Homo-oligomer: A and B are copies of this chain.
Amino acid sequence: MKNKKAVVLLSGGLDSTTVMAIARANGYEIYGLSFRYGQRHAMELEAARRVARAFNAIEHMIMDVDLAKIGGSALTGDNQVPKNRDEGEMKKEIPVTYVPARNTIFLAHALAWAEVLGASEIFLGVNAIDYSGYPDCRPQYIAAFEQMANLATKAGVEGKTRVKIRTPLIHMTKADIIRKGIELGVDYGMTHSCYDPSPEGMPCGRCDSCLLREKGFREAGITDPVTLVR
C-alpha cells in the first residue's frame, strides 16, 4: 500500500473531509482536487484548502469548471435554496440544489488527473443513506462510472493498472461518518457544509445540508464545532 497515489475529490464539507482522512489512514499519498464551479459561496474552497493542508496533501489542485454557464441548479444561482425541509420532503424528489451531471464532470477531471499521475484510486464522498436524493450519489452510478473509466483511458487498452472509484461512505449514516472521522482525529471545525451561508460565512442552519449535518452530530452524540463558534 505504501506510496500509492490517490486523487481525493474535496469540497471542504464533512463527507469529503472524512474521505480524505480515510484515504490518509490507509497510507495513500493524497492529491486533493476541488472545483470553482460557479457555486454561490467561496467558503467551500477556503475550507477545502484548510483540509488539504491538514492532511498533508502532496498537491491540491483547484480547477475552474463553468457549470453556471450550463445552469439548471439552485447551487449555481438559478433558484432559491430550499429551507426547513424534513427528511421525507428531501427524499421525495430530486431537489433544486441538484447540479446536472456535476459528479460526472468532477469524476471525469479526477480520471484525467489520475491517469497523468499514475494514481490507481479516486476517492469520492458520496453517500446513499443521509443524502439529498441526487442520482449521481447512488452505488449503481458509481459502478457504471468505474466501468466506463477503465475503457476511457490507457488502462483499458494497454493492460495498465485499472482505476478504482472508492466511496467509503456510501452505505454509512451521517452519524457513522462523523464517528469515523472523530476516531481518525478529524477536526470538523475546519469544514463547511452550508448551501447558503451568510456573507460572513455563517451556516444558515436551515438548508438540507445544514439539517443533515445537524442530525448527524445529534445522532452521534457529538457537538458540532462549527455551531460552537456561531
Contacts and interface: CB of A to CB of B under 8 A. Distances in A.
Contact of A94 (B70, B104, B113, B158): B158
A140 interface: yes
A115 B72 contact: yes
Contacts of A144: 144, 147-148, 151-152
- Most B Cβ at <10 Å: residue of A102, A105, A158: A105
Interface string A107-125: 1110111011000000000
Contacts of A67: 112
A71 B138 CA distance: 30
B141 A101 contact: no
A63 B147 CA distance: 26
A105 B101 contact: no
Nearest to A142: B151
A204 interface: no
Interface residues of A, number: 46
Nearest to A99: B112
Interface in A137-186: 138, 140-141, 144-145, 147-149, 151-154, 156-158
A94 B158 CA distance: 9
Contact of A135 (B71, B98, B153): B153
A128 interface: no
Contacts of A69: 61, 63
Interface of A: 61, 63-67, 69-72, 93-94, 98-105, 107-109, 111-113, 115-116, 133, 135-136, 138, 140-141, 144-145, 147-149, 151-154, 156-158
Please give me the 5 A-B residue pairs with the lowest Cβ-Cβ distance, nearest first: A101-B112, A72-B116, A144-B148, A100-B115, A141-B151
